[in-house]
A and B are shown apart, each in its own frame.
Chain A
Amino acid sequence: NTVMTQSPTSMFISVGDRVTMNCKASQNVGTNVDWYQQKTGQSPKLLIYGASNRYTGVPDRFTGSGSGTDFTLTISNMQAEDLAVYYCLQYNYNPHTFGAGTKLELK
């Protein structure tokens, strides 16, 4: 199976911060990586598909980048509403595999 290793596990941030989180695949997955945001008690929400394509309605402060084995999600100008757990997903191989998540918390 393709292991998706997310880092860091958690981050303590302030409103207005620039936030960068990473996802490393155990093998080349091309650009077949999505990023999801999950707030407490809610279903995950698609933010980025195909590694770098912002999904419809997603604010432009969210940016995805990377290819191959290394991927990054950046939130510029962090907002309080962005507090959540973020997951990456690779769908290049079966089984599709999620990272363990990066939790954003307020300082």
Chain B
Amino acid sequence: QVTLKESGPGILQPSQTLSLTCTFSGFSLSTYGMGVGWIRQPSGKGLEWLANIWWDDDKYYNPSLKNRLTISKDTSNNQAFLKITNVDTADTATYYCARIPPPFAYWGQGTLVTVSS
């Protein structure tokens, strides 16, 4: 059974770095063809793809976030991570991780992140 669960700080201040963790089970990021993506959704709004990481450590980012994103993984502990630097109020959203393939077959429950001074 595939499950994913996101965790994050809940609230942080503008200019800080947001660190998110996706802890998953039921698959391995060392398996050929597997990947994890991050997607976010401001309250009441649509979905925005942020980044993907693949079994071979290949990484893809949404260029609209202007090099603020870093995705990584810890295969041994079945975790994927996303860091967003220099956050502001526009980064307030529910952040989801999801398994690939196909994009995106399984989703976590999401973690709400609020950026506020």
Task: Tell me the nearest residue of chain A to B109, going by C-beta.
Answer: A43
Contact of B105 among A46, A87, A98, A100 (CB under 8 A): A46
Residue of B39, B104, B109 ringed by the most chain A CB atoms within 10 A: B104
Q: Give Cα A55 to B52, complex, Å.
A: 21
Please, which residues of chain B bring their CB within 8 A of the CB of A49? 102-103, 105
Q: Are B64 and A45 in contact (CB under 8 A)?
A: no
Within 8 Å of chain B (Cβ to Cβ): is A44?
yes
Residues of B within 8 A of A55 (CB): 102, 105
Residue of B nearest to A1 (CB): B64
Interface size range of chain B in the complex:
20 to 34
Chain A proximity mask over B46-83: 1 for CB below 8 Å, otherwise 0: 11110010000000111110000000000000000000
CA distance A50 to B56 in the complex (A): 23
**Contact A89–B103 (Cβ < 8 Å):** yes
- A-B residue pair count with CB separations less than 8 angstroms: 55
Known: A1-B64, A43-B109. A98 touches B103 (CB 8 A): no
Residues of chain B within 8 A of A36, CB atoms compared = 47, 104
Interface size on A, residues (CB 8 A): 21
Task: Write the chain B residue with the least CB distance to A87.
Answer: B47
Question: Could you say which residues of chain A place their CB within 8 Å of the CB of B104?
Answer: 34, 36, 44, 46, 89
Say yes or no: B102 contacts A94, CB within 8 Å. no
**Chain B proximity of A10: nearest CB distance (Å):** 13
A residues engaging B (CB < 8 A)? 1, 34, 36, 43-46, 49-50, 55, 87, 89, 91, 94-101
13 contacts between A and B (CB under 8 A): A36-B47, A43-B108, A44-B47, A46-B104, A49-B102, A49-B105, A55-B102, A55-B105, A89-B104, A95-B62, A96-B62, A98-B46, A98-B47
**With A44-B107, A55-B105 already in contact, 4 other A-B pairs whose C-beta atoms are closer than 8 Å:** A43-B108, A49-B102, A49-B103, A95-B62
